Amino acid sequence: MTSCVLVILLCLGIAAQAADQTIALKAARLFDGKSNALVQKAVVIVQGDKIVDAGSNLPIPSGAQMIDLGDATLAPGFMDAHTHLTADFSGNYNERRLQQLDLNVSEHAIRATAFARATVEAGFTTVRDLGSRFVASREFVDVALRNSINKGVIVGPRMLVATKGIGATGGHFDPSGGFRDFLFGREPDYTDGIANGPDEIRKAVRFEVKNGADVIKAAVSGGVLSLADEVDTPQLTPAEMAALVDESHRLRKKVAVHCHGDQAAREAIEAGVDSIEHGSFMKPETLTMMKKKGAFLTPTLMASEWIMGKLDNYPPVLQAKAKAATAARSEMFRNAVKMGIKISFGTDAAVYPHGQNAKEFKLMVDLGMSAIDALKSATGNDAELLGIGQKVGTLEKGKLADIIAMPGDPTSDITATERVSFVMKEGKIIRQGPRTPQGTAEWTRSPDVAAPVD
Ligand SMILES: [Zn+2]
């Protein structure tokens, strides 16, 4: 008994020692997650899992492990407010659809562990994962992935998960949409996130929170990659949206809505949602409403960029929807930037191969956003939207040590964000050097991933 206690105490001692280790990160410059200029001659001091100091030319504490990253820029770990780490829709649409039917959900889950690693190694230390569903399955793979990362079983970003997402019968989220009627033996219900009427919407919110949702996602308009709806039609009524927001906020969960259409966006903003995802067809008047209400826009430019680059991979009906949404979204995004709408960084990872999230930065800058604002969107802004600004999002004393480094100066070349070379999460070094090669035969075949961004 005594020796057992002694062993435990010794183990705790070792853990405490490791936790107290001090690391000093040095680099030519630093972006703190909120300021308009970079800090030169940057030093960040990390002790255990926290930042104890960050600034210019700070003295290095004696005994600290020094890591000099040279001509690089330190930044808070990037965040992506719109991912789907348990899925990959980036290849041929019909093949992917078939995979939904023939892969076991456990195999999907195993693949997700590789997607999680690719994401964090790209410098994204936090993601908000907006929907994880497998047709005719009740598994909560996103919850399992989040928990396994938190417990240190696998390597991945901090995840805030939405479980199934909520939507109407026949809408963008209906997992049986586009399949033969009753192929799966029953109509999807609230346990699949499918709900009709305010009371059912409340039930679906409660069910998802009960099963581990950190955030509530709903589809309030049609979408691009769904076969049974139009891209911009409203899919929830104002009464359903009011119930969605009220029930979620009562349970202290934020609400993110998938929305391309303008009418649905107006109704969702009126109902008080926290973020509009995509927002392709939003008119300037709708953006004005959004600004008044303080809602965030998560533009997910990467999603349409990827689909437009590989249109042949999609059935004609989806090609038409993608063209319409992409044609509208560039002007909408330019207007949003000009009007000073709060913009969060989100990419819809899974539509394109995981790990290429940072390509969104250049798309934002190409459409009129300043590089520094694009960097803020993926750090301070996302932390605010996710409600975790007290813990992460900036390089400041007391924050968790989620720190990345990229070569050169991202404010003069935003594509530096695609070449992250160092990743620390909660004080632990996840990557210093090349990314882990991605192992599957499928990946090695794909030219898009065989030539990773770094
Ligand atoms: Zn999405």
Lowest model confidence (mean pLDDT) among 24-33, 243-252, 278-287, 319-328? 319-328
Q: What would the mean pLDDT of 255-282 be, rounded to a whole number?
A: 98
Q: Which residues pair with 40 in a beta bridge?
A: 29
Provide the pLDDT confidence category of residue 309 given band limits of 50, 70 and 90.
very high
pLDDT at residue 441 greater than cutoff 60:
no
- How far is the C-alpha of 360 from the C-alpha of 301, rounded, in Å? 6
Q: In what order do the strands lie in the sheet with 124-129?
A: 78-83, 124-129, 158-161
Give 46-79 pLDDT, tens digit per residue. 999 999 999 999 999 999 999 999 999 999 999 9
Give 363-395 pLDDT, tens digit per residue. 999 999 999 999 999 999 999 999 999 999 999
pLDDT at residue 28 greater than cutoff 50:
yes
Rounded to the nearest angstrom, the distance between the alpha carbon of 371 and the centre of ligand 1 is 24
Query: Do 232 and 328 meet the contact criterion of CB atoms below 8 Å apart?
Result: no
**Structure tokens belonging to residue 226:** 């769904």
- Residues of the chain with pLDDT > 90, as a percent, come to 85
Nearest 5°: phi and psi at 205?
-60, -50
Predicted pLDDT at 10: 47
- How far is the C-alpha of 271 from the C-alpha of 241, rounded, in Å? 6
Rounded to the nearest angstrom, the distance between the alpha carbon of 279 and the centre of ligand 1 is 12
Alpha-carbon 152 to chain mean position: 20
Lowest model confidence (mean pLDDT) among 29-33, 92-96, 245-249? 92-96
Provide the pLDDT confidence category of residue 17 given band limits of 50, 70 and 90.
very low
Q: In what order do the strands lie in the sheet with 296-298?
A: 215-219, 254-259, 275-278, 296-298, 342-343
pLDDT at residue 344 greater than cutoff 80:
yes
Angle at 104 between CA 98 and CA 107, to 5 degrees: 105
Give 405-436 pLDDT, tens digit per residue. 999 999 999 999 999 999 999 999 999 988 88
Cα separation values, 448 from 60, 221, 352, 409, 444, Å: 42, 30, 9, 26, 9
Rounded to the nearest angstrom, the distance between the alpha carbon of 5 and the centre of ligand 1 is 49
Rounded to the nearest angstrom, the distance between the alpha carbon of 328 and the centre of ligand 1 is 18
pLDDT at residue 33 greater than cutoff 70:
yes
pLDDT at residue 238 greater than cutoff 90:
yes
Rounded to the nearest angstrom, the distance between the alpha carbon of 297 and the centre of ligand 1 is 13
Predicted pLDDT at 439: 56
Rounded to the nearest angstrom, the distance between the alpha carbon of 432 and the centre of ligand 1 is 30
Look at 228 and 414; give whichever has higher pLDDT: 414
Rounded to the nearest angstrom, the distance between the alpha carbon of 130 and the centre of ligand 1 is 6
- How far is the C-alpha of 46 from the C-alpha of 401, rounded, in Å? 7
Rounded to the nearest angstrom, the distance between the alpha carbon of 58 and the centre of ligand 1 is 42
**Structure tokens belonging to residue 374:** 């694009």
Rounded to the nearest angstrom, the distance between the alpha carbon of 351 and the centre of ligand 1 is 8
Rounded to the nearest angstrom, the distance between the alpha carbon of 41 and the centre of ligand 1 is 39
Predicted pLDDT at 14: 44
Rounded to the nearest angstrom, the distance between the alpha carbon of 278 and the centre of ligand 1 is 9
Query: Do 90 and 440 meet the contact criterion of CB atoms below 8 Å apart?
Result: no
Predicted pLDDT at 434: 84
pLDDT at residue 443 greater than cutoff 50:
no
Q: In whole numbers, what is the pLDDT of the chain averaged over residues?
A: 92
Spatial neighbors of 245 by CB under 8 A, at least 6 apart, are 255, 271, 272, 273
Provide the pLDDT confidence category of residue 1 given band limits of 50, 70 and 90.
very low
pLDDT at residue 450 greater than cutoff 70:
no
pLDDT at residue 306 greater than cutoff 70:
yes
Give 186-205 pLDDT, tens digit per residue. 999 999 999 999 999 999 99
Lowest model confidence (mean pLDDT) among 31-40, 43-52, 89-98, 367-376? 89-98
- How far is the C-alpha of 63 from the C-alpha of 3, rounded, in Å? 32
Predicted pLDDT at 136: 87
Provide the pLDDT confidence category of residue 227 given band limits of 50, 70 and 90.
confident
**pTM score:** 0.93
pLDDT at residue 16 greater than cutoff 50:
no
Rounded to the nearest angstrom, the distance between the alpha carbon of 97 and the centre of ligand 1 is 16
Look at 157 and 21; give whichever has higher pLDDT: 157
Query: Do 32 and 396 meet the contact criterion of CB atoms below 8 Å apart?
Result: yes
Cα separation values, 282 from 277, 290, 348, 388, 428, Å: 11, 10, 18, 28, 41
